């Protein structure tokens, strides 16, 4: 089948590596406003979801997240499961100051929808044509939620109540072109748009938001009031002290790549290979046979023409796919 010409094609991914957290209570709004890098007031109309950072008092990132409002004093966010326990332990002390409760939402499952060719596929199943409106990014259909990425067309979250999963997916099968993809496709999407993957406990409390492409994902509101770590985050922006950027690297290798492998670059003047200092590999993704994508933080003086390789596997040259 030629999928490029098939306008009814719908690829979906069951995102078991992500977790929905529910934040409820009479102080939920003020708690989030005082903690997160975005202006929570902008969620009041329940028309949008936002990307956000939750930082510690030193301005270091605990986690990044997608967050949206369900109703008054009821919010939900999506974070990586691998760091969930570490994150909850880190914010315990802040919860004591507010009338708020954070709990795992076990009633809903998250699906990623890739490469939707026609919005009709979605709104026919949910009986809501407003889903094609460009300015809106969150939609509610009874107990189900649909989130649209405004900066990347045809990629969306579908959050389904467990009681409706079978019924909804059965409806999609009417189009006869519903394909279950491996979850690596969603991480590939994240890496492609420069959405940083904080997936290891050792990476919590390690980075400043400015080390990521904050302008593209709009995860910081510089016009809101005080929040945890704001003074340090703002001072770093004005002083321009951050000298690292997010890079997407690509390498072909039949070796087992490790997050501890050292990277080295070829010095253009001396023509010698030198170890890259202060490198931090966020994610290594095997996207197909022997082809890997690597999301990594490097000093911002690297350019696309620089030659990079693993010190351990000298025969495999690494190419800079994208600089964010």
Backbone angles phi, psi at 152, to 5 degrees: -150, 105
User: What is the C-alpha separation between 202 and 180, in angstroms, rounded?
Assistant: 32
Backbone angles phi, psi at 104, to 5 degrees: -75, 130
User: Is-contact 211 244, C-beta < 8 A?
Assistant: yes
* Lowest-confidence pick of 79-88, 103-112, 121-130, 228-237: 121-130
Q: Which of 166, 138, 163 is closest to 150 using CA atoms? A: 138
Q: How many alpha carbons fall within 13 Å on the CB side of residue 323?
A: 13
User: Is-contact 222 210, C-beta < 8 A?
Assistant: no
Supply the DSSP symbol for 318: E
pLDDT tens string 3-40:
344 555 667 889 999 999 999 999 999 999 999 999 99
Name residue, tokens 């975005």: 38
Q: Considering the chain, what percentage of its residues have pLDDT values greater than 70?
A: 85
At residue 205, the pLDDT reads 95
The interaxial angle of helices 84-95 and 28-35, nearest 10 deg, is: 110
At residue 2, the pLDDT reads 41
Domains of the chain: 8-242 (3.30.1360.120), 243-324 (2.40.30.160)
DSSP 122-163: HHHHHT-GGGG-TT--EEEETTEEEEE-TTSTTEEEEEEEGG
At residue 5, the pLDDT reads 46
DSSP H helices, 7-131, are 28-35, 84-95, 120-126
CA dihedral (249, 250, 256, 257) in degrees, to 10, reads 0
User: What is the C-alpha separation between 95 and 153, in angstroms, rounded?
Assistant: 36
The radius of gyration of the chain's CA atoms, rounded to the nearest angstrom, is 21
pLDDT grade, residue 1 (50/70/90)? very low
Q: What's the farthest any 2 CA atoms get from each other in the chain?
A: 64
Backbone angles phi, psi at 22, to 5 degrees: -105, 130
Bin 292: left if φ > 0, else alpha if -120 < ψ < 50, else beta. beta
Stated pTM of the model: 0.88
pLDDT tens string 80-95:
999 999 999 999 999 9
Q: How far separated are the first and last CA of the chain, in Å rounded? A: 35
* Lowest-confidence pick of 24-28, 238-242, 261-265: 238-242
Reduced to 3 states, what is the DSSP secondary structure of residue 201? helix
More confident residue, 79 or 136: 79
Average per-residue pLDDT in the chain? Answer: 86
């Amino acid at each position: 089948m030629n999928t490029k010409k098939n306008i009814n094609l719908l690829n979906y991914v069951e995102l078991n590596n992500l977790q929905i957290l529910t934040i409820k209570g009479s102080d939920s709004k003020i708690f989030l406003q005082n903690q997160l890098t975005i202006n929570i007031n902008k969620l009041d109309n329940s028309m949008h979801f936002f990307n956000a950072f939750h930082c510690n008092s030193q301005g270091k990132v605990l986690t990044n997240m997608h967050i949206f409002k369900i109703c008054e004093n009821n919010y939900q966010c999506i974070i990586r499961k691998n760091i969930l326990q570490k994150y909850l332990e880190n914010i315990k002390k802040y919860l004591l100051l507010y009338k708020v409760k954070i709990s795992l939402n076990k009633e809903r499952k998250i699906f990623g929808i890739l490469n939707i060719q026609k919005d009709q596929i979605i709104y026919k199943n949910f009986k809501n044509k407003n889903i094609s409106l460009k300015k809106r990014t969150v939609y509610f259909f009874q107990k189900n939620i649909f989130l649209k990425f405004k900066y990347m067309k045809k990629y969306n979250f579908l959050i389904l109540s467990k009681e409706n999963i079978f019924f909804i997916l059965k409806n999609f099968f009417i189009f006869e072109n519903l394909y279950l993809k491996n979850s690596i496709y969603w991480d590939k999407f994240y890496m492609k748009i420069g959405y940083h993957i904080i997936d290891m406990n050792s990476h919590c409390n390690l980075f400043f938001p400015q080390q990521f492409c904050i302008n593209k994902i709009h995860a910081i509101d510089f016009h809101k009031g005080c929040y945890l770590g704001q003074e340090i985050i703002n001072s770093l922006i004005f002083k321009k002290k951050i000298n690292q950027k997010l890079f997407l690297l690509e390498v072909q290798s039949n070796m087992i790549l490790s997050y501890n492998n050292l990277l080295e670059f070829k010095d253009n003047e001396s023509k010698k290979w030198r170890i890259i200092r202060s490198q931090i590999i966020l994610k290594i993704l095997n996207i197909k046979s022997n082809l890997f994508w690597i999301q990594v933080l490097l000093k911002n003086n690297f350019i696309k023409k620089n030659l990079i390789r693993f010190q351990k596997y000298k025969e495999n040259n690494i190419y800079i796919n994208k600089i964010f």
